């Protein structure tokens, strides 16, 4: 990497700054961002001040924060050297996780790499996906390691997004023959039959978040072709009844809205060579009053079974707009105890 730390002669002033030298001025411009907005985001997150001097960046602040800022800047610069773009989300991820060390080591197959610094990347056709918190990193590792995994936590923590990314990478590698994405269409209820259009058109609005994630990782034409070939299926949970899902990567989203019987039905569809991921948020149950959530029951009944992983997220793992985390924390603080 063409980045070096410059050590100036000691003085009262240099004791309070770290100088970073960048060989590629074009990449340095991208690193700083328009009107230095990327630097401003790092400054705000780490309580440092960053000044550009030609091809140097001078980082001012406490020694520990200067070191962290240098790691973040180095990690972002490496991404630019790899031809990747950086945005506010990438910067947030680097700040949360710290920069990876140079060089890579094999983790599991060709589509995922574990960096020496403990960072994980998932490669898909359209983009490279990188967990942005420790909980996300452990979640991804467990999805590759275990045949069944649960992701439980609030909205915006990447539970479904990362699960679909892992499914796409495993499909690209040939570890599975198909991807099946489903979720309960709880809101539709009996009204589903009164909606206009075909059965697929009626349930499509409930499946849209899954379409969105999928289209982030695969070209639209390829998604359409794979759907026509039934190598990608997006369907309501009820459509899983009676099937045995072999050599498939299966994701059940919004699992808190599955009943106990639906959850049991789904989990017992697992066939040879398949992986299952169940994601949900226990605070957003839309089932009728008195109906038990299948997610809560599955968590209680299956937590002691080896080879089933349970991964938990909190508001600290929210990777959407920073206000989303604060909103979740406010509602959690107001929630009744017990």
Question: What would the pLDDT profile of 237-260 be if each residue is shown by its tens digit?
Answer: 888 888 888 999 999 999 999 999
Q: Give the domain-ending residue among 30, 65, 99.
A: 99
- Residues 200, 131 within the same domain: yes
Please tell me the distance from the alpha carbon of residue 106 to that of residue 53, in angstroms, as a whole number.
38
In a domain, 104, yes or no: no
Whether residue 280 is contained in a domain is answered as yes
Query: What pTM, to 2 d.p., does this model score?
Result: 0.71
Whether residues 167 and 203 share a domain: the answer is: yes
Strand ranges (DSSP E) for the chain?
3-6, 17-22, 49-53, 56-60, 104-106, 112-115, 120-123, 128-129, 148-152, 178-183, 232-236, 248-252, 275-280, 308-312
Do 123 and 93 share a structural domain?
Answer: no
Give the pLDDT confidence score for residue 6 in this predicted structure.
59
189, 328: one domain: yes
Number of neighbours of residue 24 by Cβ within 10 angstroms: 15
Is there a domain that residue 275 lies in?
yes
Please identify, among 99, 125, 149, the residue that sits at the C-terminal boundary of a domain. 99
Instruction: Tell me the DSSP string of 104-162.
Output: EEE-SSSSEEEETTS-EEEE-SS-EE---SHHHHHHHHHHHH-SEEEEE--TTSSHHHH
**Residues 26, 127: one domain?**
no
- Per the structure, the complete domain to which residue 210 belongs is given by 109-334
- pLDDT 10s digits, 77-92: 888 888 888 888 778 8
Could you tell me if 219 and 315 lie in one domain?
yes
Predicted confidence at residue 94, as pLDDT, reads 81
Domain count, the chain: 2
Instruction: Identify whether residues 295 and 237 lie together within a single domain.
Output: yes
**Residue ranges of the chain with pLDDT lower than 70?**
1-15, 98-119, 186-203, 320-322, 325, 335-338
Last residue of a domain, one of 99, 122, 151: 99
Q: Which CATH number is 64's domain given?
A: 3.30.1370.10
138 and 269 assigned to the same domain: yes
Domain annotation covers residue 51: yes
What is the DSSP track for 71-84? HHHHHHHHHHHTT-
Give CA–CA dist 280/135, Å, rounded.
15
For Cα atoms 40, 42, 48, give the angle at the middle one, nearest 5 degrees. Answer: 90
Q: Which residues contact 70 (CB under 8 A, 6 or more apart)?
A: 5, 18, 20, 59
Same domain as 90, residue 50? yes
Residues 48 and 114 in one domain: no
Q: Phi first, then psi: give them for residue 31, nearest 5 degrees.
A: -65, -40
Question: What is the per-residue pLDDT for 117?
Answer: 41
One domain for residues 89 and 163: no
Question: What does the pLDDT read at residue 197?
Answer: 61
């Amino acid at each position: 990497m063409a980045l070096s730390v410059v050590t100036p002669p000691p003085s009262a002033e240099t004791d309070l700054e770290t100088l970073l030298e960048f060989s590629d001025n074009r990449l340095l411009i991208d690193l700083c961002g328009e009107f230095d907005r990327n630097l401003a985001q790092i400054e705000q997150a780490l309580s440092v001040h960053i000044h550009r001097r030609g091809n140097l960046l001078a980082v001012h602040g406490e020694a520990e924060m200067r070191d962290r800022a240098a790691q973040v800047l180095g990690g972002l610069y490496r991404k630019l050297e790899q031809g990747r773009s950086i945005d506010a989300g990438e910067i947030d991820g680097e700040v949360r996780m710290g920069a990876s060390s140079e060089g890579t080591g094999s983790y599991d197959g060709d589509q995922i790499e574990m960096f020496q610094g403990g960072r994980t990347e998932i490669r898909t056709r359209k983009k490279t996906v990188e967990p942005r918190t420790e909980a996300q990193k452990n979640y991804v590792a467990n999805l590759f390691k275990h045949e069944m995994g649960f992701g439980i936590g609030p909205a915006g923590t990447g539970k479904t997004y990362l699960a679909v990314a892992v499914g796409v990478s495993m499909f690209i590698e040939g570890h599975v023959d198909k991807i099946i994405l489903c979720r309960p269409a709880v809101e539709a209820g009996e009204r589903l039959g009164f909606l206009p259009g075909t059965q697929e058109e009626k349930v499509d609005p409930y499946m849209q978040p899954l379409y969105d994630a999928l289209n982030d990782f695969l070209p639209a034409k390829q998604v359409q072709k794979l759907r026509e070939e039934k190598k990608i299926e997006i369907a309501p949970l009820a459509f899983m009844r009676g099937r045995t899902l072999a050599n498939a990567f299966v994701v059940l989203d919004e699992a808190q809205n599955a009943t106990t019987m639906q959850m049991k039905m789904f989990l017992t569809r697992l066939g040879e060579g398949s992986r299952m991921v169940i994601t949900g948020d226990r605070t957003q149950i839309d089932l009728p009053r008195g109906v038990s959530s299948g997610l809560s029951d599955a968590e209680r009944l299956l937590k002691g079974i080896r080879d089933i992983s349970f991964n938990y997220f909190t508001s600290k793992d929210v990777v959407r707009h920073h206000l989303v985390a604060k909103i979740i924390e406010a509602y959690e603080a107001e929630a009744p105890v017990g």
